[in-house]
Amino acid sequence: MKILTLLLFLFGASIGIYAQTLDDQFNELRDNAETYKVYKVIKQSDLNAFWGVVRDSANAVRTELSETYRTIEKQQSEITARDNTIAGKDEEIAELGYDATHISVLGIGMFKEAYLAISFTILALLAAALVFLYGRFKTSIATARKKVQEFTKLNAEYENYKKDALEKQMKLRRELQTQINKLEEIRSS
């Protein structure tokens, strides 16, 4: 915008220079012209020379104006290109800022702090579950050992009872057999 203002100022200044020069030439043409009543009589060659200067001045102003327009268009395209570059850089900066504060886990974008909190919470829960399961395992092992000991003791007692019962049964059979034998002896005698 400053460049456009500067160019317009230079353009106005150059028009002022040509106008001053043309004014001087016009005044000189008028002053050198002969007067007839209220009219000024100007030589055709002087008028043609003045008109040539006016045409040259106008062409110079047009050329300068078209160059100024081309410069303005060029600068506008450069400004647009730079604005696009700045917009691209702003997007890159925003993306870098997002990447610096976020992490993608399973396709879900989340703050790094939230990810750390969730990770440590999960690890803490897993550790607590591990401690709980280890405690349950120890309790189960102790209970199993106690049950095995009780079973072994009970089994030994049962074996002793079975042995004692078998011995009693054998003793009773022997006694019964002895009594049967005595009874038969008595009957046979």
Q: What is the DSSP string of 129-173?
A: HHHHHHHHHHHHHHHHHHHHHHHHHHHHHHHHHHHHHHHHHHHHH
Q: What residues contact residue 21 under an 8 Å CB cut-off, 6+ apart?
A: 53, 57
Average pLDDT for consecutive 10-residue bins of the chain (189 residues)? 47 47 84 84 86 90 94 95 95 88 81 89 96 95 94 94 93 92 87
**b/e per residue 104-114 (b: at least 16 CB within 10 A):** eeeeeeeeeee
**So what's the pLDDT on residue 6?**
42
How open is the CA angle 35-37-40, to the nearest 5 degrees?
35
**So what's the pLDDT on residue 17?**
45
CA dist 148 and 156 (Å) reads 12
**So what's the pLDDT on residue 12?**
47
Give the start-to-end residue ranges of the domains of the chain. Answer: 2-102, 106-189
CA dist 103 and 117 (Å) reads 13
116 closest CA partner among 95, 102, 96:
102
CA dist 5 and 61 (Å) reads 17
CA dist 159 and 162 (Å) reads 5
**So what's the pLDDT on residue 20?**
60
**So what's the pLDDT on residue 23?**
83
**So what's the pLDDT on residue 40?**
83
